[in-house]
Amino acid sequence: MALEQVEAARPDLVILDFSLPKVDGWEVLRSLRTDTGARALPVLVITGVEVGRGDEIPTAGAKVPNGR
């Protein structure tokens, strides 16, 4: 699983697509933010679909650059 690879490799940046086939992208982001080793790891989120779940941004540990 990708989370296990992040733990093993400790990359400088994670590029996360929210449109995943088997796992919710929000859940992946939450898992990264609760892992003490990956909490400060920058995550660039991209997706080809409308996210539309802005209420989850703070609870998932995400920051929006334009302050929204």
Placement of tokens 């609760």 in the chain: 34
CATH number of the domain enclosing 36: 3.40.50.2300
pLDDT tens-digit readout, 22-64 = 888 888 888 888 877 888 888 888 877 666 655 565 556 666 6
Q: Is-contact 22 55, C-beta < 8 A? A: no
Q: Quick one: pLDDT at residue 12?
A: 93
Q: How far apart are CA 56 and CA 68, in angstroms?
A: 12
Is 23 part of a structural domain of the chain? Answer: yes
41 lies in some domain: yes
Q: Specify whether the CB–CB gap between 25 and 19 falls below 8 A.
A: yes
* CA 21 to mean position of chain CA atoms: 15
Torsion angle (degrees, nearest 10) of CA 28, 30, 35, 38: 70
Number of structural domains (the chain) is 1
The parent domain of residue 42 ranges over 2-56
